[in-house]
Structure 1
Amino acid sequence: MSDTGPDDEFRVYAIRYAQRDGRRGQHFHGYDTRWDEPHPTAYYVWLAVSAHHTVLVDTGIHADRAAGVEGLEYLASPARTLAEMGVAAESVGHVVLTHLHYDHTGTAHEFEAACYVLQQSELDYWTGPWAERIRRERWLVGEDDVARLRAAHKQGRVRLVDGDAPVVPGLSVHLVGGHTAGMQVVRVRTARGHVVLASDASHFYENIEDDRPFAILHSMTGMYGAFDRIRELADGPHLVVAGHDPRVLDRFPPLSPRFAGRIAVIA
């Protein structure tokens, strides 16, 4: 007998808070003859709501840092968009941080009532000796974000996990690595089946569908293993949500005409 029921099913939303023009050569590992073709990037956070829990997956870039990113169009802070949806920041009980890159942690401190869920290996890496020396990765982490996270840890508001772990009934995290040392994806039980929020384990659908890793990675073999694990966890490829692909907004319907181009209903 299943130990889950309708109360453990979530509604899941992809919320686009920013966008940026780019080139294919920036987004795929290795040389590509099409490297100079336009290849836009969308920036998302994800909201999962059940009868008893409100979970935010990642928290986006803070507006102050976004202002310094060339070509980035900042649409609205995640907290502001949640408020437009009728979800107050203080109602978010858990914030899952898939990894500690600045475009996923920048507004975490605005969710003051939440418990942050993070892989131990991710925190260990970015606060350890190696990341300080690897310049190609170090710029991707916001030092202020990590400092706030460590302060929250001292307050008992951070749950560090090691591998796969349930967060609340119907929602779990799964260590995949690849993009970062402690990259995790999120599996969510919905009425349509299990959705996997891949975040940066697959920036674009082309990454996982064509077996092509993203340009920025911690481990090449880890990236391929992440693709396999995502497929195992999702109840079909139609329930995989890529982390930065504008096509998410084409594959899934908008919450309402008002939110077209900003919020998609995943399930």
Structure 2
Amino acid sequence: MRIHHLNCGTDCPLGGALFDGRSVSPLGHIVCHCLLIETDAHGLVLVDTGYGLKDVDHPHRRPDPRITVPWRMLLNIRLREQETAIRQIEALGFTANDVRHIIVTHLDFDHAGGLEDFPNATVHVMQREYVDATGPRAGIVARNRWRPRQLDEVRHWQRYGARGEPWFGFDAVRDLTGLPPELLLVPLPGHTWGHAGVAIRQGDGRWLLHAGDAYFYRGEMRSARRRCTPGLRAYQRLMEVDARSRIDNQSRLRTLSIDRRDEVTVTCTHDPVELERAQAGRPL
């Protein structure tokens, strides 16, 4: 399998280095790190979509906007057509129909905005995430994070319960319908109850774990001492559904990233340095 590391959305929150840990300007730089996987027999598989074409064209159309104005202002979202997954996939010489499967870590608006750009793809998601995203949404965070307008044209859902088999000390959902056995869902609740990582076994036998929003900053992994910028630390707290679950899973991931670093590479969605290193083929 060949894995492409894509940035499918850019946020520039006011605060600079207080968010990304390196900006010298007042604005930070946060990415939406998605994966495009070329498989031999199962077509293209996309892990998360970032923002989509309809987000770019009509993000605030009433009465049910795809992205709410308060969250767009909070994150200072830069909606760019060339950053959408569909445009980047086309630039690689493929079409939307070549994407046969999309695995989502969760259905927040910045992870699921491009689902409708791939109308024939099967969308794989945890059952609890689907229920929470498509059902009644109580509270300001739930109403802003899950946007029904981004999901209402998706026709092919494949949902999974939290059954699991051991994977490096985590429970993992194996045998994803229509997908090769090298792809697993790893439940990591806390950010949302149905949040999951996606593990990919690569040709050299190593695993890549896309941990979604289980953590946000590179300093939270690969070191016994957790480091996180104030802005991202606050945002994680704002968006979490359960602090204990999120912190416990993040701690377990940190241990995995240290103790099994020769076997597993862990990355997240929003850290630009992790994305840049992955795109350059450099160690995280």
TM-score category by the smaller chain?
0.7 to 0.9
Distance in 1 separating the partners of 2:148 and 2:114? 13
State how 1:112-123 maps to structure 2 within 5 Å. 112-123=119-130
Which residue of 25, 36, 52 maps to 1:62? 52
Matched, 1:222 2:245: yes
Deviations 1:134-185 (A, max 9, x none): 1122111111123224xx1xxxx21110123222220111111111110010
Instruction: Give the direction of change, closer, same or farther, for the CA distance of 1:100–1:89 in structure 2 (3 Å limit).
Output: same
Instruction: Give the direction of change, closer, same or farther, for the CA distance of 1:103–1:211 in structure 2 (3 Å limit).
Output: same
2:161 corresponding residue in structure 1: 162
2:68 corresponding residue in structure 1: none
Q: Secondary structure at 1:223's aligned position in 2? A: helix
1:101, distance to aligned residue in structure 2 (A): 0.7
Instruction: Give the direction of change, closer, same or farther, for the CA distance of 1:21–1:114 in structure 2 (3 Å limit).
Output: same
Instruction: Give the direction of change, closer, same or farther, for the CA distance of 1:24–1:124 in structure 2 (3 Å limit).
Output: farther
1:244 corresponding residue in structure 2: 270
Q: Secondary structure at 1:52's aligned position in 2? A: coil
Matched, 1:176 2:188: yes
Greater Cα shift, 167-176 or 13-22? 13-22
1:41 corresponding residue in structure 2: 30
1:147 corresponding residue in structure 2: 152
Q: Give unmatched runs, 5+ long, in structure 1.
A: 1-9, 29-35, 255-263
Q: Secondary structure at 2:145's aligned position in 1? A: coil
Matched, 1:16 2:7: yes
2:11–2:28 CA contact under 8 A, matched in 1: no
TM-score (norm 1): 0.76
Distance in 2 separating the partners of 1:27 and 1:134? 25
In the alignment, residue 208 of structure 2 is paired with which amino acid? V
Instruction: Give the direction of change, closer, same or farther, for the CA distance of 1:265–1:96 in structure 2 (3 Å limit).
Output: farther
Matched, 1:201 2:214: yes
In the alignment, residue 21 of structure 1 is paired with which amino acid? C
RMSD: 3.0
1:76, distance to aligned residue in structure 2 (A): 2.4
Matched, 1:138 2:127: no
1:225, distance to aligned residue in structure 2 (A): 2.8
Q: Secondary structure at 1:147's aligned position in 2? A: coil
In the alignment, residue 102 of structure 1 is paired with which amino acid? F
TM-score (norm 2): 0.72
1:37, distance to aligned residue in structure 2 (A): 7.3
1:40, distance to aligned residue in structure 2 (A): 2.1
Q: Secondary structure at 2:32's aligned position in 1? A: strand
Instruction: Give the direction of change, closer, same or farther, for the CA distance of 1:116–1:187 in structure 2 (3 Å limit).
Output: same
Distance in 2 separating the partners of 1:27 and 1:148? 34
Structure of greater relative contact order (alpha carbons < 8 Å, 6+ residues apart): 1
1:12–1:265 CA contact under 8 A, matched in 2: no
1:32 corresponding residue in structure 2: none
Distance in 2 separating the partners of 1:49 and 1:116? 16
Deviations 1:80-134 (A, max 9, x none): 10111123221112101111111111111221221110111111223344xx221
1:102 corresponding residue in structure 2: 109
Runs of 4+ more than 6 Å apart: 264-267
Instruction: Give the direction of change, closer, same or farther, for the CA distance of 1:177–1:137 in structure 2 (3 Å limit).
Output: same
Instruction: Give the direction of change, closer, same or farther, for the CA distance of 1:123–1:26 in structure 2 (3 Å limit).
Output: farther
1:33 corresponding residue in structure 2: none
Deviations 1:2-49 (A, max 9, x none): xxxxxxxx3222201332222379869xxxxxxx97542112221122
